[in-house]
Structure 1
Amino acid sequence: MSSYKLGAVGPSTFDKLSMNILLLSPFLQSYGWGKYNMSLIFTSILGLICVFSNLPKNPIPKFVTIYLGYWFISNLISSTSILDIFHFGIIRTLIIYYLFFACFKLEYFITIYRKIVCFFVGYFFIQEFFQRIIGVKLPSLFSFLPICVSDDADGLLTNIAEGQRNSSFFSEPAILVQFILPILAFELLCTKIIPWKRVIFLVLALLFLQSGNALLGLLILGVMFAYKLLFIEKIKYKFLIIVSSIFFLVPVAAIYLNSSLGQSVLERGKTIKSDSVEKTGYVSSGFVRIYRGYFVFAEYAPIYKFIGNDHPNYQTQSASNSEVRYLFNDGELYFNSIQHVLIYTGYIGTFIFMIMLYKLWKDTTYGGKTILLIIFGLSFISFMFFTPLMAFYLLIPHSLKKGHSLQF
């Protein structure tokens, strides 16, 4: 096994700026003007600079490029007007992912990632302290900045202020969860010596966030960590460690599930069933996030089920013809990531997308595989479809190569 130090060729100032903007993107995406949030603006500008500085080199993995290329072809085939052909969303995605893969240096990225995640999680725990002990809800979004995550900024701020869950500096808890999980997986499975203080700090944050995303991510992490401990690692006193862990984790899990935090998560879990609307009498956020998009895809014409159709007008028409038409208000078209793949690129695009994940899976380490499993699982319950946050889950596994030891 060869050994090398990742990032031995140091990142340039431009690389560092790009990686910092990437790490701050989940925060920056809450602010901006209309459809143009600050993350999109900054990454697009940096991406254009990067593209014109590096052509004809293409740093993006082949099957990521193939999927984005197929998405563009699918858009051309399903276009009904000249204006539809110019799909700036796909072009912009290609540009910013070109930037991310061209400028990514794992060692620098992880070093800054650790600092930023501790800052965000630290503020989250301060929010929890003030709310639970003092009875004061600290803000998650800054009202003096232009907010673009909702057409009704005042209504959004009111909902966050009146809500029971905190989310640090993000617009919702799920985004903070998705931000934490890649670095937590890296700390557990990609470091020579596990930084247990940081791991416990992040795990506690995930439990306090009361999120389905957090529980699913922790379940995948727990299974993969246990498998590594049982069947891959060669360590002394393995049996004693496993038995001790079981005797520790079982009562801890029972205490958590019986607490107000655990009960809140269990109550939220009841809303993810497909018949939750009939049983509860109202539309749950879980039903919307997990099932609604499949009803829309079911209304697609056979040709579009195979090739996909990402045009909003066709999606709106399909939504209005579906059994769940009453769930779509004012043209809102939220779908989770897997539904985006299906709806935008059909069965063919979904097949290419799965090959893309498999190629990344095949060439990465055990820790990289775990990060890919996490995003695959989260794709069924949340939206990250080719966002900067999704890049976290692709860049780290892509940079973790088999046959090399890490110097972390």
Structure 2
Amino acid sequence: MPAMHVRLGALAAALALAATFSTAASAQKKYDTGASDTEIKIGNIMPYSGPASAYGVIGKTEEAYFRKINAEGGINGRKINFISYDDAYSPPKTVEQARKLVESDEVLLIFQSLGTPSNSAIQKYMNSKKVPQLFVATGATKWNDSQNFPWTMGWQPNYQSEARIYAKYILQKMPNAKIAILYQNDDYGKDYLKGMKEALGAKAASMIVAEESYETSEPTIDSHIVTLKATGADVFFNITTPKFAAQAIKKNAEIGWHPTHFLNNVSVSIGSVMKPAGFEASQGIVSSNYYKDPTDPQWKDDPAMKAWNEFLDKYYPEANRTDSSVMYGYIVAQALVHVLKACGDDLTRANVMKQAASIKDFEPAGLLPGIKANTGPTDFAPLSQLQLMRFKGESWELFGDVLSGDVSG
């Protein structure tokens, strides 16, 4: 009989201990607005209409990827509730949609809002509200400012770094080049311009023979191209978004202007730029990339490309697989999932930013070999490497080494 008492006593003690542990475990769960035991609310703003609507597929790809994650059980058992709004690439509309997401929808964070002018319009608001503005879809250098804007983080290699890589190449291969530049008249265009001028250094004044800016409200940039051709420039640096990039390529061919053409990597999509502009007109254009081009035959048997195609077959079958923006959306969606998984049961906004600033050698499927995402408490630029490529036939051909266009050097 006494043995029975001992057993019951031990059982009671074990039960009490278990209860203590489960209380401790549930006590460890921390949530801010937008997160719970069952869901994580993520906000997003995309130009599904307007002059930059070619980028809308990024939001659609991300939505499809989160559906895949939810179908596979979610993140640590929680489903992603992805709320995506159109701002037509209009900053006042971006402000409206950001307020709606933060104050009405009560999202945990805003992920991948697209465009430099759009994100500039909401950066102060997001930081004053202490809501993460995470992995913004723009390469402006200003997103890497952890001191002044600790709630805003970029994703892709920044525009100044990219322009520096082209400038180094021009100085090396064409030291006597006469450079004509077309740029979008906003922070995005000016960021590229700054990177190019800084890297050319003292030679910028003599090498750059013309700078033309355009507004996104202009229906066509044809007249700017005619003006630039008249300068006799033999290098053209094309800092434009997809619609205008395709126009520029087409117009160059029409008027018989054949400079060495550098195209910023935000407009390298074969589906939304090169094909509409015409493959013949696109030959020899130089750009850069950090992720695999789905049309490049060298990735035909690549496991990451196979996984990407399988994902699209199941979750986004109508996707245009020649549009590199679909690969871009797929890669950055993986990065958000990586960060949210790392948050565990501490789904506070502060912890989201802490985990986003603790990425070490992360390689989402789809990045080029040798390119990895890394961040730190004072490094809010996850990707900083690129590889040059040249358009040949109906696809891009990579050449040279993986390069870093570090803004500090």
Q: TM (normalized to structure 2)?
A: 0.27
Instruction: Choose 1 or 2 for highest CA Rg.
Output: 2
Bigger RCO of structures 1 and 2 (CA < 8 A, at least 6 apart): 1
Considering fraction of residues, name the structure with more helix.
Answer: 1
Considering fraction of residues, name the structure with more strand.
Answer: 2
Q: TM (normalized to structure 1)?
A: 0.27
